[in-house]
Structures are given as C-alpha cells and as structure tokens.
Structure 1
C-alpha cells in the first residue's frame, strides 16, 4: 500500500487506560490490530491486515531505533522504546512500546506482539524528542541512507556506552527517574 509521507504536525492523544495492541508475522506484516490502534491511526482493519507494520512509520522516527528494535526482537528478547507513529491523515502520536516475540508451543518465534501505552511527557519532551531529532539529523546528513543509518547507530551506541547501559536499561532508567 503506497502512501505519502505527508505530516500535518498535529499530535493525537489517547487515554492513559487505553492500550494499543498489534501483532505481526515474522516479516512485520500486521496480523492483528485492536480497536484503539485502528481508531488512533485512522485505518480500517481491512486496510491494515497483511500490510507491513511500517504503514504507520512516521518519517521523523530515527531508523536506527527501528534497527535496534528489530535486532532485539529477532534475537528473542523484548524491548521497550519510545516511538512516534503516523496516522493515515498525516497526524502523529507518541507511544511507549513494549515489543515481544510471539512463540509457538515449541518455543520458536512465529511473530511479534506490541503493546503501546501513553508515554511520559516529561521523558518524551526532555530526553526522547531531542535525542531523536539529533539521530534524525545525523541520518539526514548522509546522501546514502545506509551511511546515515550507520552513523546514527554509532551515535546511539556511543551514548549507551558512555552511560554503561544497554538500550532497555536506558529506557528503564528514564521511566524510573
């Protein structure tokens, strides 16, 4: 499903007691979306199922964070990450996502499951948005997208190295502060 990367600059919100839920297959194609997901993103279930989860990828989301997310879940681990998503009409919404592998009875990974909650605005505005703007700026400085991704990945690795934490611990410490 082709779509523009048009952004309105308008942020949408959801309630603290709501959870956005989606499931994908191993290739990231949507196999389930709950009503909160559909309402907030502005899509119908028919428009979503079978489509790549990147359908809601916002152009201001650093690629290196998605790379880190995919590496983590494909390794069989869970991850928490702040994510800005794009609605069908170009609006956006922020979430704190908890993404986990889904396993069959034998323990094999058969897909991925994500629960998203309302993010902490103080963390979002004080840490995440400035960090993501810097990462995105690094990515955009390179004419070659692969070079941009490599450079932003190095920057996030350097930041985590200075703090002597892995990404999940970095996010957990932000949440606990």
Structure 2
C-alpha cells in the first residue's frame, strides 16, 4: 500500500463478522480468513508472508502495538481497539483479541487474532485518546510519553487497561 494514500472512507464491519488472522513469530501473516481479505480488499497472495503491519493505519499510536507485543510474548491475551488501513484507500475499526498460539509443550509458535466490530461509542471515545498519544509520540517523547499518558488516564479512572478497554466495548 502506498504510504501517501488518504484512507478517507470508512468500511463497516458486520455485527456478526469475525476477522481472523494468524502470524508466525515475527508477525508475518500465515493465514487470513475470507472476511479479512474482503475488508482489506486483498488476495491471499497480497498478504501471506507479509508483516501484519501492512494494514496498520497511520492514526494508530505505536505504544498500542508495543503493549500488544509485550503481552502476547508473555502468553497473555490482549484486547485493543485498532484502526486498520485497506488496500483501496479505506479504513475500518475493530475490537481485537490477540493471543499466542502454543504447541503441546507450551512454546509460542505464532499468534492468533480475532477481531469484531468495535462499538461505535467506544471508537468515539478512543479516537481522542489515540490522537493525544500520537501527538505525544511525534513531539519527541516517543512511546514513553504515550505510555505515561495511558498510565495517567487509567489512574484517573481508577482502573486497569483491560477493564477500561472491555468496558468501552461493552458500552
């Protein structure tokens, strides 16, 4: 995808849709279900073997993915709101659940993500949070300033990341 594409039209996720992908240990896509291919307007050959960040939207703060990788490398699941770009200049919001795929000995052999439609009211609340995080990251503070912002936000709400994210999705 071109890095200068506008990504200005939102694609809607169906209420019952599940978007599923699997990756190897380095985040390269090894499986994408039909719904993922359709929503990003891609063929398997466009995605298999490519890093999953091929659909990362420029509006996503880097710290969200740092947190995601920290958690899944420790075999902890994570939920997150993610805005992804599509190959035809669109974007879509999802509520993602990402987990480690384990072999019979408990070793991580890859990662598995299932995404659903994000609650529109949650997206309204998460957009200004992500915008502030991006602003902090770009102002020279990097992911550390974005991380501090989230820690302060959670402390202000007297909650944890998991509780905050899940309560947003539930509405």
- TM-score of the superposition, structure 1-length normalised? 0.91
Residues in 2 aligned to 1:13 and 1:40: alpha-carbon distance in whole angstroms: 9
The answer to whether the Cα contact below 8 Å between 2:118 and 2:169 also exists between their aligned partners in 1 is no
The answer to whether the Cα contact below 8 Å between 2:29 and 2:48 also exists between their aligned partners in 1 is yes
For residue 33 of structure 2, what is the aligned residue in structure 1?
A: 34
Q: What pairs with 1:1-177 in structure 2 (closer than 5 Å)?
A: 3-125=2-124, 127-142=125-140, 147-177=141-171
Q: After the TM superposition, list the runs of 4 or more consecutive aligned residues in structure 1 that deviate by more than 6 angstroms.
A: none
Any unmatched runs of 5+ in structure 2? Answer: none
How far does residue 5 in structure 1 lie from its aligned partner after superposition? 4.3
Q: Secondary structure at the match of 1:175?
A: helix
The more displaced of 164-173 and 99-108 is 164-173
Aligned residues: 171
Residues in 2 aligned to 1:59 and 1:5: alpha-carbon distance in whole angstroms: 10
Any unmatched runs of 5+ in structure 1? Answer: none
Residues in 2 aligned to 1:74 and 1:176: alpha-carbon distance in whole angstroms: 26
Residues in 2 aligned to 1:3 and 1:23: alpha-carbon distance in whole angstroms: 24
Structure 1 pair 176–18 and aligned structure 2 pair: CA distance change class (3 A): closer
